Amino acid sequence: MTAAVRIDPATGRKLFATRAAKASDRIAGKGYSVVEDAALTTLPAFPPGATFNAEEQARYRAFKEARRGAADYMPMEGEFARYLDDVYSAEPVPREALTDECEILVVGAGFAGLLLWHKLKDAGFEDVRFCEKGGDVGGTWYWNRYPGIACDVESYSYLPLLEESGYVPSMKFASGFEILEYCQLLAERFGFYDHCLFHTTVEATVWDEASGRWTVTTDRGDAMRARFVILANGILTTPKLARIKGMETFEGESFHTSRWNYDIDLTGKRVGIIGTGATAVQAIPELAKVAGELFVFQRTPSSIDVRDQRATTDEERMTWANEPGWARARRARFARISAGRTALQANDDYLSGKVADFKVRKVHERQLTPEEYVAAQLDSNFRLMEQIRARVDAVVKDPKTAAALKPYYPYGCKRPTFHDEYLPAFNLPHVHLVDTAPSGVREINARGVVHDGVEYPLDVLIYATGFQWMAASTFNMITGVGGVGLADRWAEEGMKTFLGLHTPGYPNLFIVAGPQGGGGSFNFTDAIDTHANYVVWLLETMRERGAAVVDVKREPAEAYARHCREADIASAPLRDCLSYYNGEGKAEPGSLAYYGGSRWRRICADAKATLEPYVFG
């Protein structure tokens, strides 16, 4: 036995020491900047008289249609597989392959894994093992360490277990580096490290009917057996590249934002960045501070709202120290907000409980039909987007650059972003927006990017081209009852789950925050909290009933899938653009994220009360 695997004398179970060294170097750009200039931290007033009339609707449609078919991505394979290397940790800790059995095996050691561990342990489930691809905990916050990274849901609501850990985030929008360290703090505090196999990628998960066990094989040669498998491996896990002619010929340095290479000094260099999604919006202001020349290759502008970053005040620290349950109450208040922008603007008076509501509620003379409701939403959505577009004009000096930075789609259709230094960066003489709409960058050569016949020579090229959505790669390698692969099943029959957490034919397997998973809010950690609670409830229910196996019946899964489809279609006009949320316009309605609002909780509560949807064995 190596030092990485030892036996706990108290329980006889294996404990691990596989955390890699060097997991949390801090860097200069921390996303901590506080902007004091009120002109940059307030939205301009709504332009009077503007309405979402036929002309504006046609403009939105044209904006979308011009881009249809432009999105072309590829996985990081072959010569691009090097972009996936773990640049953050020392070499994997050597250990023997494991062929033993545990009760619960969880894939992933991000917030979902950490929360599951905390709740499972509390409920008396201790024989739990985690497999994590990275060298330390953190998940998204382990991999994403680009300069400027920060959460953009307020950290007091976003970070779970604040009271339990006694931690108070230093900023309203904590930097990703602080969040990674918070994950490490939780892991240390709650004894997580002993249970986790780091640098271990699950390759296949196969159900054995006879023994009622899953066999989980990994890239470290393990073939472990587990009664339960919980997939907690994220929703934006696998990075992707834009497929661009000649990209393999580029002779400068290049990397993807989720594997930021700090060995490359960007100071004074000619840097190019492809993509202007949520990641690029946070990274570009920091890049602008160091690069000699910065070229931003944009296909579609993001909506850039006010961030209003600030430090946690002494008064808040004192109040919370004397207010048991403050974080739980704040998260619960946050979860009541159903409008994305209102949630993300995070009104402190409401969230801290000083005022009872976050807005004055409009009283309609009669209940609106669903169509009227959507039309009213689109109207107010348009007003907000007008303010966001007016902000671009107010900040960006060059009119051509300002015009290119204005988004024409409903707010929230692409991930809304928040920043007070992004737009001003385009006023700097060395920062250049290269508008590649509608096709995007199509050519790269040995020296740099070529667009519209112009060559942009670069020393470093950064791909901010995002991640596969709701497609954690493990999903492709799960084989359930009768040898049927989960990916094949979903491809043939369409996405069918119950509550997003189970699929019939895959007993004792749960998916946290996967496709069709509801019960959350604009705060992502709410969904994983709700899902973790559900899994623990079901395991406790099985323990009480003496059940060894649980599957879900087909009928409730079919009904739930129909509901997901209908909810997606009903609210689709609010997301009428091309984005990863709707598979660039190609996804089957209801097959990705959940849009059914509070209905999930009602279906879940019924299931818990009646146990009707389940087959226990």
User: Which residues have a Cβ under 8 Å from the Cβ of 370 and sit 6 or more positions away?
Assistant: 570
Identify the residue whose tokens are 């640098």: 199
- Residue from the set 300, 309, 401, 497 that interacts with ligand NAP by CB under 6 A: 300
Q: How many CB atoms lie within 10 A of CB 415?
A: 18
**In the set 93, 187, 464, 587, which binds ligand NAP (CB under 6 A)?**
464
- Minimum CB separation from ligand NAP for residue 150, in Å? 6
Contacting ligand NAP within 160-179 (CB under 6 A): none
Please return the burial class of 318, using the count of CB atoms within 10 Å of its CB with bins 0-12, 13-18 and 19+: exposed
Span from 150-158, 217-225, 311-319, 593-601 in contact with ligand NAP (CB under 6 A): 150-158
> Per rule CB under 6 A, is residue 580 in the interface with ligand NAP?
yes
CA-CA distance, 538 to 286, in Å (whole number)? 46
Nearer residue to ligand NAP within complex by CB, 199 or 256: 256
Q: Report the half-sphere exposure of 165 (CA within 13 A, side-chain side).
A: 23
Q: In the chain, how long is the greatest CA-to-CA distance?
A: 74
Considering CB under 6 A, how many residues would be counted as binding ligand NAP? 29
Q: Which is nearer to ligand NAP, 205 or 276 (CB)?
A: 276
Binding flag, residue 277, ligand NAP (CB under 6 A): yes
- Contact (CB, 8 A) for 198 and 73: no
Considering only 23, 71, 137, 404, the residue that binds ligand NAP (CB under 6 A) is 71
Q: Is 297 in the site for ligand NAP (CB under 6 A)?
A: yes
Q: What is the DSSP letter of 312?
A: P
The DSSP result for 408-462, as a single string, is -S-TTSS--EE-SSHHHHTTSTTEEEEE-TTT---EE-SSEEEETTEEEE-SEEE
- For the CB of residue 287, give the shortest distance to ligand NAP in the complex, in Å: 14
Contacts of 221 by beta carbon, 8 Å cutoff, 6+ apart: 97
The contact pattern for ligand NAP, residues 480-519, with x = CB under 6 A and - = no contact, is: ----------------------------------------
Taking CB under 6 A as the binding criterion, the range among 225-233, 276-284, 511-519, 560-568 that sits at the site for ligand NAP is 276-284
From the CB of 406, what's the least distance to ligand NAP, in Å? 14
d(CA 331, CA 343): 11
Decide: is 244 part of the binding site for ligand NAP (CB under 6 A).
yes
Q: Which stretch binds ligand NAP (CB under 6 A): 161-169, 394-402, 461-469, 538-546?
A: 461-469
Q: Nearest distance from residue 117's CB to ligand NAP, in Å?
A: 23
Interface pick for ligand NAP out of 169, 412, 448, 466 (rule CB under 6 A): 466
Asked if residue 394 lies in contact with residue 39, where contact means CB atoms within 8 angstroms, the answer is yes
The one among 195, 299, 391, 496 contacting ligand NAP by CB under 6 A: 299
Q: For residues 21-39, b (16+ Cβ closer than 10 Å) or e, as one string? A: eebbeeeebbbbbebeeee
Contact between 463 and 280 (Cβ < 8 Å): no
Residue ranges in contact with ligand NAP by CB under 6 A: 67, 71, 150-152, 236, 242, 244, 257, 274-280, 282, 297, 299-300, 415, 436, 440-441, 464-467, 580
